[in-house]
Amino acid sequence: MADPKDWFTEGLEHIWLPYAQMRTLPAPVAISRTEGARLYLADGRELVDGVGSWWTSVHGYNRAELLNAARAQMEKMPHIMLGGLAHEPAYRLASRLAALTPGELSRVFFTESGSVAVEVAMKIAIQYFRNTAGASRTKFVSFLGGYHGDTLATMSVCDPDEGMHHMFRGALQEQYVVALPETRDQIRALETLLATDKKIAAILIEPLIQGAGGMRMHSPQVLKTLRRLCDQAGVLLIFDEIFTGFGRTGEMFAANRAGVTPDIMCLGKAITGGITPLAATIASSKVYSAFHTDNPDHALMHGPTYTGHALACAVANAGLDLFADGSLIKRVKKLEASLTNLLAPARDLDSVADVRILGAVAAVEMAEPFPLEAARKWFIDQGTFIRPLGRTVYLSPAYAIGEDDLSRLTGAILKFAKTGISDIG
C-alpha cells in the first residue's frame, strides 16, 4: 500500500488560514496531540500553551469529564434541529445559564459562534424597540479598542482604526465608536450623545477587559456609569462576555465582578472548554417580554442550523458541573496572585510600558512595537505558545495550569522583554 500523502504540505496549498497573509505567513507548527496545558508537536517538541486556543480551553485540553460527555451524547444523539423538536441538553443548559447569570437575565438563544451571538443581541435590541414602541432605533454605541467579531454587523461596532476591518468602510453601517467613559468629559460626551440621537438602541461593551484590542482593562466604575446612562436614556446595555465569561476575570462573569447587570449578555468560547463550537445570547425578562406576545411579527426571526447543538450543549453542561463547587473560581483568584508575583519584575523594565493583570489574564504591553510574526516564532523556540497582539504580550492560560508551566510562560515573557525588541526579528 502506498504511503499516505503528506497532509501538511499538500493541505497548506489549499487551506485558507485566519488573520493571515498567506503569501508571506511563516508555516504554522503542526500539532499531533494535546494534554492539559501542553501542545505536542508533530516533530516531537512540546509547547506550554499560554492562550488556550483563543481563550476557549479553560479546563485544559482533553479534560476527561468533557470528553466523556461528548462521547455519551455522540452515541445517543449528536444533533437534532430545535425547530419543532426538543432535546434535554439544550433545555437543561438554558435553565442553568439563566440561573447562573445575574439579575433577570433569563431567556437563552443558542448559536454556533460568539460573533453570531453578538449579531443576535444587536437584532434583539433593534426589534425590542420596534415591538414595544414602533420605534426605529438602529444605531449602536461601542468603544475604541473594542472587538466584537468578524461578521458584517459586528464589524461595524469594532474599533474602526485599530481593528482589522478598515477596508470594509462603506459596506458597514456607521456606528458610534467612542472613548470609554472614564473621565468627566468622556462621561458628559456620552451622556449628550445618548440624549441627542434617539436612533440609538443599545450600548455594547466587553466588560472589564477588551480582549483582541490588546487586553485593555477598565474599572467596574465604567460599567456602573454605562448602566446609569443607559437607564437614563432608555437604551439597552449589552455585555459581550464571549471572552470574559466563565471565570476569566475571577468571578463567573465580569458582570458579577463589576456588580452590574446588562439587559443582554453574550457568551461563548469557554462555554464548552474548547471541545466544540457553541455560543449564547441571554436576554432579560424585560427584553424578552417584548417578543412574547400574540403578534407573530414580534417573534425573533433568527435560526442557525445548529442552534442548541445537542453534543455541544451536553459538553457545556459537563463544563458547568466543573464550576459547581466553586473550586475553579478560587483557582483563578490564585492564578491572578501568581501572575502578579511572577510578572512583577516586568514593571521595572524600560522596555515595558504597562503590566495589566485581572483574573486569569495577564498583559505586558511593550513600550515599542516589534515584529509580530518574528516574536511568535521566538516564543515557540522558547517552548511556549504565546501570540502577542499589537504591542501586548499576553497570557490567558487554562485555569488548572501547573506552577512549572506557568513559570515557563512568564519566564519567556520576561526574557522577551529583556532581550531587546531589535534582537527579536
The per-residue pLDDT for 419 is 87
Binding residue per annotation — 415? Answer: no
What is the rounded distance in angstroms from the CA atom of residue 16 to the CA atom of residue 12? 8
27 Cβ contact partners less than 8 Å away, ≥ 6 residues apart: 12
What is the rounded distance in angstroms from the CA atom of residue 119 to the CA atom of residue 112? 12
Architecture of domain 77-323 in CATH? 3-Layer(aba) Sandwich (3.40)
Over its length of 425 residues, how does the chain's per-residue pLDDT go in tens digits? Answer: 334 569 999 999 999 999 999 999 899 999 999 999 999 999 999 999 999 999 999 999 999 999 999 999 999 999 999 999 999 999 999 999 999 999 999 999 999 999 999 999 999 999 999 999 998 999 999 999 999 999 999 999 999 876 677 788 888 889 999 999 999 999 999 999 999 999 999 999 999 999 999 999 999 999 999 999 999 999 999 999 999 999 999 999 999 999 999 999 999 999 999 999 999 999 999 999 999 999 999 999 999 999 999 999 999 999 999 999 999 999 999 999 999 999 999 999 999 999 999 999 999 999 999 999 999 999 999 999 999 999 999 999 999 999 999 999 999 999 999 986 666 65
Whole-prediction pTM value?
A: 0.96
Give me 237's grid cell.
Answer: 446595555
Binding residue per annotation — 305? Answer: yes
Binding residue per annotation — 303? Answer: yes
Q: Put the strands of the sheet holding 264-267 in their side by side order.
A: 105-111, 279-284, 264-267, 236-240, 200-205, 139-143, 176-178
The per-residue pLDDT for 1 is 35
* 324 CB neighbour count, 10 Å cutoff: 10
Q: Are 261 and 237 in contact (CB under 8 A)?
A: no
Q: Are 218 and 182 in contact (CB under 8 A)?
A: yes
Binding residue per annotation — 5? Answer: no
The per-residue pLDDT for 2 is 39
Binding residue per annotation — 289? Answer: no
User: How many Cα atoms occupy the beta-carbon half-sphere of 83 within 13 Å?
Assistant: 6
Helices in 138-261 by DSSP H: which ranges? 152-155, 184-196, 220-233, 254-258
Binding residue per annotation — 304? Answer: yes
Binding residue per annotation — 113? Answer: no
What is the rounded distance in angstroms from the CA atom of residue 387 to the CA atom of residue 393? 7
Distance between start and end Cα atoms, the chain: 44
Q: Are 87 and 77 in contact (CB under 8 A)?
A: yes
**Residues with catalytic roles:** 19, 147, 240, 269
The per-residue pLDDT for 423 is 67
Binding residue per annotation — 387? Answer: yes
Type of residue numbered 18: P
Q: Are 306 and 131 in contact (CB under 8 A)?
A: no
Binding residue per annotation — 350? Answer: no
What is the rounded distance in angstroms from the CA atom of residue 389 to the CA atom of residue 50? 13
Give me 386's grid cell.
Answer: 504565546
The per-residue pLDDT for 164 is 73
What is the rounded distance in angstroms from the CA atom of residue 334 to the CA atom of residue 173? 43
List every span in the chain annotated with CATH 3.90.1150.10.
Answer: 5-62+327-424
List every span in the chain annotated with CATH 3.40.640.10.
Answer: 77-323
18 Cβ contact partners less than 8 Å away, ≥ 6 residues apart: none
Query: What is the DSSP track for 92-154?
Result: HHHHHHHHHSSTTEEEEEEESSHHHHHHHHHHHHHHHHHHHH-----EEEEETT----SSHHH
User: How many Cα atoms occupy the beta-carbon half-sphere of 244 within 13 Å?
Assistant: 29
- 5-62+327-424, CATH topology level: Aspartate Aminotransferase, domain 1 (3.90.1150)
What is the rounded distance in angstroms from the CA atom of residue 129 to the CA atom of residue 106? 19
Binding residue per annotation — 147? Answer: yes
Which residues sit opposite 205 in a β-bridge?
239
3-state secondary structure of 52: helix
Distances (CA, A) of 331 to 37, 41, 142, 374, 402: 15, 28, 32, 33, 11
* 229 CB neighbour count, 10 Å cutoff: 20
Which residues sit opposite 111 in a β-bridge?
279
